[in-house]
Amino acid sequence: MESTNNRQDLSDFTNNPIDLQDLPQFDQVPLHGIQPRYWKVVRFNLIVLAILLIIINVVVYAMAEEPTILAITLPVSAALVILLTVLYKRAIGKMGYAFRERDVIFRHGVVTITTTVIPYHRVQHVAMHEGWLSRTLGLAKIQVYTAGSGSGDISIPGLEASDAVQLKQLLMGKIAEES
Cβ 71 vs Cβ 137: under 8 Å = no
Please check the confidence at residue 153 and state whether its pLDDT lies above 80: yes
pLDDT tens-digit profile of 24-66? 677 778 899 999 999 999 999 999 999 999 999 888 888 877 7
Domain range annotation of the chain? 32-178
Please check the confidence at residue 71 and state whether its pLDDT lies above 90: no
CATH number listed for the domain at residues 32-178: 2.30.29
Q: How far apart are CA 174 and CA 163, in angstroms?
A: 16
pLDDT tens-digit profile of 101-130? 888 999 999 999 999 988 888 888 999 999
The pTM assigned to this predicted structure is 0.78
